[in-house]
Amino acid sequence: MGKNSKNIYQLIEMQSIKNPNKAAVKTSQNVVTYGELKFRSLQIAKILRNEGAVQQTLIGIMMDHCPEIIESILAVHKIGAAYVPIDPGCNEQSIKNIIKDSCISILITKKQYRDKVPFCFKGVLIEVDGLAGIYNENIQELSTKALPDDLAYVMPTSGSTGRPKLVMIKNRGLWNYINWAAKYYCYNIDLVAVPFFTSISFDLTITSIYMPLVTGGTIYCFPDSNIEEVVKASEINFLKLTPSQLSLIKNFDNRTSNIRKIIVGGERLKTENARKAWESFGCKVEIFNEYGPTETTVGSIVKKFNPKEKFPSVLIGTPISNTRVYLLDSNMKQVAAGKEGEIYISGEGVAKGYMNMVEKTAESFFADPFAKDGSMYKTGDLGRYVIGSELEYLGRIQIPETGFELKGNKIRVDYIENTLLTYSGIEDAIGVVKKDDIGEYYIELFYVSEAELNEKEILEYLKANLSSYMIPKKITRLSKMPLNYNCKVSRPILRGIEY
């Protein structure tokens, strides 16, 4: 495909021409073939055109895990517009914020979610479950016009620092990531079968939607996000999830599972959790640690998990195609191997910026000073090179847990977490910074273990391996870590802060 035609729709349309009768999307009751997927998306595209949508119109999509959401996404791409994914399971205020901040003029949804549409939305409402009759009508082909730097979608961030920002992802970024992922992950799989069960407002889900479609595979829709049901489904051979979800499935007996590849992203992947998950599948599954902020289109750096890994957390590895990664100090100078630096990402995947946030965009997106052209994104994450050109992720810069001073001493809570992870029986560990009644900071360390452990022995172990000022004031055992809506560990819940 030419450099000036990086439209993901065209990659998927090729499959409808080559394999029109092949299953593209499946539910427990229905099958949509590639031919039907093309026809139905074309029907919805025609409706969007009739409602005034043109190239680069922003169109909201608010639905559950169903074939209609796939058809709607492709319809948006077909007319060169861009979509804003809205999870109907989000709270009322989040939905209102996304719709208001994105200024969408059209919202595609289902009748069952009509009451989720806020009063502030004054645009066109299209309910796809009321369009069954149009699928029997004849319709002419529509021309597709979308440029590489046009928007493909606008993705809300997780909102860890407050109100979510809306990240504007370009066609070239989506095309680059999916093209790379299809070649890197799917080269030895005849039929890619991926479950669609994670939130559409989480860019991790982008892989689950597009990768099977560009390779002629099948998307399996799961209405409920029941991870055990997903893993045990005999049709599934590919899985994309968060480390927190991987931590759950490692406790299942997965030896008879047909899953052969697992992509993990969105959080730090603890080595012990990855190893136990690998063992639960009878050591027959490949696990990939994929790192990438929403602002650089899903994944930018990847590492295949090695069961002999010696680091407490799995390394994030090396850049994907058409991507450059720099570790820089506060003076924007590249740091030496083994030294900590902030991770900056440059290349095809870098977003256009934040919607309607000029100052925030200017703070994080700027020209790449080490290349002739292209933009660069400041991630706010710390990393270091540890094995040749392989990167280790060290955590966020801008949260107290990554680095703060306690009584004049520099504290790195990730060091405390990594130390506890080397203690026998510990499956996961998260430290949070809290304030006591008189305003003094202290560290509380949460851990997950199958059996009850001796807290005094844990403290003795930490004292033997850490400086005295890094010893947590409190240690708390949990049966599992609390997760937010995107299935990541929720530090606000651990801090006792309600959303």
Clarify whether residues 420 and 322 are in a common domain: no
Clarify whether residues 269 and 412 are in a common domain: no
Tokens 């994929």 belong to residue? 290
Quote the CA–CA distance of 154 and 336 in Å, as a whole number.
36
Model pLDDT, residue 412:
77
Clarify whether residues 333 and 264 are in a common domain: yes
Q: Which SS3 state, helix, strand or coil, does residue 151 take? A: strand
Clarify whether residues 262 and 370 are in a common domain: yes
Model pLDDT, residue 436:
79
Model pLDDT, residue 133:
54
Clarify whether residues 414 and 387 are in a common domain: no
Q: Residue 200 to residues 22, 73, 80, 90, 485: CA-CA distances in angstroms?
A: 24, 11, 20, 11, 11
Clarify whether residues 368 and 432 are in a common domain: no
Model pLDDT, residue 498:
39
Q: Residues near 140 by Cβ (< 8 Å), separated by ≥ 6? A: none
Clarify whether residues 387 and 417 are in a common domain: no
- Asked if the structure places residue 195 within a domain, the reply is no
Domains of the chain: total: 3
Of 342, 372, 397, the domain-final residue: 397
**Cβ atoms within 10 Å of 446's Cβ, excluding its own:** 22
pTM for the model stands at 0.87
Q: Which SS3 state, helix, strand or coil, does residue 284 take? A: coil
Clarify whether residues 387 and 425 are in a common domain: no
Q: Residue 130 to residues 70, 117, 119, 413: CA-CA distances in angstroms?
A: 16, 17, 21, 53
Quote the CA–CA distance of 335 and 317 in Å, as a whole number.
17
Clarify whether residues 19 and 141 are in a common domain: yes
Expressed as residue numbers, the domain containing 460 is 404-494
- The per-residue pLDDT for range 254-278, each reduced to its tens digit, is 999 999 999 999 989 999 899 999 9
Mean pLDDT of 148-176: 87
Of 397, 416, 443, the domain-final residue: 397
**Cβ atoms within 10 Å of 482's Cβ, excluding its own:** 14
Confidence of residue 131 (pLDDT cuts 50, 70, 90): confident
Mean pLDDT of 186-199: 91
Tokens 């240690």 belong to residue? 475
Please determine, for residue 188, whether its predicted confidence score (pLDDT) is greater than 60: yes
Model pLDDT, residue 237:
96
Clarify whether residues 265 and 380 are in a common domain: yes
Clarify whether residues 284 and 429 are in a common domain: no
Confidence of residue 112 (pLDDT cuts 50, 70, 90): very high
In the chain, the N- to C-terminal Cα span, in Å, equals: 45
Quote the CA–CA distance of 265 and 290 in Å, as a whole number.
5
φ, ψ for residue 357 (rounded to 5)? -135, 75
